[in-house]
Chains A and B, each alone.
Chain A
């Protein structure tokens, strides 16, 4: 499979715990995005990487959220001290500059 992959696909956690998600983009894609999607809404942009550099962060991304792309390949998104409002689908996408391709997402449920 040469698409974008994300792990885990589902994560259930208790409020206050930390969680980390991983995204493996399409191999030659230098652009990587994280989005968040809640029920009944379209995806909302969280952050953008070009190679290993994080070039843009949404105001939606509070201090509890951090993302990395250490070698310009895979990326991780960490949420510290999770809150119930963090429950959502977290989507990763990658591109070479036209029309990003999305992964299957990680569904986070915070109890």
Chain B
């Protein structure tokens, strides 16, 4: 079955530290990839997405992600985190076998940034 794995369940960083959250998926065909963020008390918001082209994707708030097809990965990065980045982060994949656009989500990573 298709699945998405986020290896880090809970990450704690100090402000200005660099961030990398891992995301791996299991599907051998064409994929579209997404990162969503959920700030405390708010709904899921789209951070960035990859459909095709440049595998390095830039999103909002200084986040970026790199699609590495050979590793089935789409890791999220930010060079310098802020306290306001404290949130839960979800990686999601839409497989080429789905013509409905449904997303398969990872279990999420909770990021806590200490001021």
**Chain A interfacial positions (CB closer than 8 Å to B):** 31, 33, 40-45, 48, 50, 55-56, 91, 95, 97-105
Contacts and interface: CB of A to CB of B under 8 A. Distances in A.
B101 A48 contact: yes
B108 A101 contact: no
11 contacts: A31-B101, A33-B101, A42-B4, A42-B108, A45-B103, A45-B104, A48-B100, A91-B43, A98-B49, A102-B36, A103-B43
A63 B105 CA distance: 24
A99 B34 contact: yes
B101 A42 contact: no
Interface of B: 4, 34, 36, 42-46, 49, 51, 90, 92, 100-108
Nearest to A91: B44
Nearest to B46: A99
A102 B44 contact: yes
